Amino acid sequence: QVNLVESGGGLVQAGGSLRLSCTASGRTFANSAMGWFRQAPGKEREFVATINWSGQSTYYADPVKGRFTISRDNTKNTVYLQMNSLKPEDTAVYYCAAGRFGYISSWYQQYDHWGQGTQVTVSS
């Protein structure tokens, strides 16, 4: 059984920070790209950030570029999303996902394992 479990979500004021974590169990994802996606109420799931298998390559969606940082620790089978300067429009359920391949991708179809999500709410 492969599981991805997100944590670190919560309620924060605009301008604040949160750090999301996603820990994998069941098998190692050290050879997989990892991604973060989010879904706000009434909206489709959207790409946030991705990191390749080694952690040396990252890519961000324009709305979060310069504010969010994705990183990973393969020894802990964990990927992180540091979110700074949060805005109310960042409010969403955040999902981590493990990719089918080792290279980065913003295309959700390239990810075949998903966590259950963690709620992030940013108040104005």
Share of the chain above pLDDT 90, in %: 94
Q: How far apart are CA 122 and CA 124, in angstroms?
A: 7
Mean pLDDT of all residues in 64-68:
98
User: What confidence score (pLDDT) does residue 120 get?
Assistant: 98
User: What confidence score (pLDDT) does residue 103 get?
Assistant: 94
Tell me which DSSP letter residue 89 carries: G
- pLDDT (tens digit, 9 = 90+) per residue, 9-35? 999 999 999 999 999 988 888 899 999
User: What confidence score (pLDDT) does residue 27 get?
Assistant: 80
User: What confidence score (pLDDT) does residue 80 get?
Assistant: 98
